Amino acid sequence: MSNNNPTTEVKLEKNLSPINVWSLALGSIIGWGAFVMPGNTFLPKAGPIGTLIAMGIATLIMISIAFNYNYMINRYPVAGGEFTYTERSFGKIAGYICAWFLGLSYLCIVPLNATALALIGRNLFPQVFQWGYLYTIGGYSIYTGEVLLAVIALVLFAVISIRGIGVAGKFQTVLAFLLVGSVAILGVAALISPHATLENMLPAFQTTESGTPSIGGIVAVIAVAPWAFVGFDSVPQASEEFNFSPKKTKIIMVLSIIFGGLLYVVLNTLTAAVTPEGYANWQEYVAAIGELEGILSLPTFNAAKTLLGVPGLIVLAIALFCAVLSGIIGFYTATSRLLYSVAKEGVLPKSFAKLHPKYKTPYIAILIVMIVSLVAPWFGRNILGWVVDMSSTGAAIGYGFTSAATFYTVCKYKDAGIGLKINAILGTIFSAAFIAMLLSPASAGFGGLGTEPRIALAIWIVLGIAFYLISRRQNKAK
């Protein structure tokens, strides 16, 4: 093989420690959504205890799927994750399908976190970035200041990501510990503050019209698990850069999922436990959110301020910034390594697999992620939200392919017991159930996709077919 091949001149550096990888996974799991979903999803659909039960079930399901990932990481400790597992097990077409959907799931979260910085500004620092009004699209106003904020964040973290996985890993670790510490402070404050009471958390469940706990609401929260926990699978994407044995990935992924589930539950519980004056309980409060303005329209923000005053908002701001910034770094890493791996197999242009001669990172792939992400701030959060909603399907497809590939590989090599085979089957079934819940028209009110995300998904499928046919024609012409 010629030495002119850029993929053989340099290799990805092994600079990630176990704590760096755990931070990468947790920082990718927890983003802006963890701070707003208590008010717009968790409590309205399931209530405080209903959400606790749902997230507990979702956590166990994701841990089960993580066991399949652990097996495949040890079998194929290279960048690419789900694409590599699927391609080695079921061929290039299946690998392409997996990568196409998973790539969108990863890619759209980068600009989602970058544009969340503007939302933090709107709610914690009003008018600081809301200057230079441009236009309104999808009911969302676009401001020059907010676009610049997102652009600066995207460019800055692209540079950090290019400068080496070691630099990004260390920065990610600091962010992850600050995130956990800040949420822990708010949790302790809720335990000792007279403003947070058990009475405020009643009823324990969201109820139906007949007054019974809403089982459908609990199912709806479980249905968001592919989106809520997407990020733990950034671990296999970075597996080629571990400076430790891949055998440790099981405990790393399990701990990242558990911590992620706990952070979701803590934020949701303290939100329910703190009810503003004038409202009998959380149920009455969240029912009125759509008519409220300012901090009252964001229950988690209101809870932080009620518990600790302005210092509480500062603590929440630290947690939010850490969650958002760690999400940008985490998905820059995951997306670029996925593109790098797919390019090495010839599905994408070979330039995507080119590594920086000094920093040994897939800098072309990182720059592509940055360029695509720079488009999003100009379309606003509402349009981006439709894409993000449908990208949950991509995460579920990635889980399903990995679980199915685990079953195939275990049967082929006979190097694991019946327990892993059963777990692989369960992971495949869970993933299929997630996809069914997301796509079934009957589930539109219970965690399923709405009309706009379905349209976005259809467009993405058509683009994927077209891109595959064009790539195949070009490869045949060579």
Here the CATH number for the domain that contains residue 28 is 1.20.1740.10
pLDDT grade for 1, boundaries at 50, 70 and 90: very low
Residue 119 lies in a domain: yes
- Flag whether pLDDT at 439 surpasses 90: no
Q: What local confidence, expressed as pLDDT, does residue 129 receive?
A: 87
Please report the pLDDT score of residue 421 as a whole number. 95
Residue 415 forms part of a structural domain: yes
Higher pLDDT, 195 or 122: 195
Q: Which residues contact 345 (CB under 8 A, 6 or more apart)?
A: 83, 87, 92, 95
- Whether 215 shows a pLDDT value over 90: the answer reads no
pLDDT of residue 4: 46
Domain count, the chain: 1
Q: From its phi and psi, is residue 245 left (phi > 0), alpha (psi between -120 and 50) or beta?
A: beta
Report pLDDT for 7.
Answer: 41
The whole-number pLDDT of residue 227 equals: 83
Residue bearing the bigger pLDDT, 52 or 8: 52
In a domain, 418, yes or no: yes
Q: What is the pLDDT of residues 90-138, one digit of tens each?
A: 998 999 999 999 988 888 888 888 888 888 888 777 778 889 999 998 7
User: Which residues face 196 on adjacent strands?
Assistant: 274
Which pLDDT value is given to residue 363? 93
Predicted model pTM? 0.91
pLDDT score of 194 more than 70: yes
Greater confidence, 423 or 137? 423
d(CA 240, CA 16): 9
Q: Tell me whether residue 1 is in a domain.
A: no
Average pLDDT in the chain: 88
324 within a domain of the structure (yes/no)? yes
In a domain, 22, yes or no: yes
| Mean predicted confidence (pLDDT) in 464-475 | 78
Distance from C-alpha of 26 to C-alpha of 175, rounded to nearest angstrom? 10
The three-state secondary structure class of 213 is strand
Does residue 347 sit within a domain? yes
Range of the domain at 80: 6-477
The stretch 17-33 carries a mean pLDDT of: 92
pLDDT of residue 442: 60
In a domain, 189, yes or no: yes
Q: Is the peptide bond between 77 and the residue preceding it cis, with omega within 30 degrees of 0?
A: no
**145: CB partners within 8 A, 6+ apart:** 128, 129, 130, 131, 132
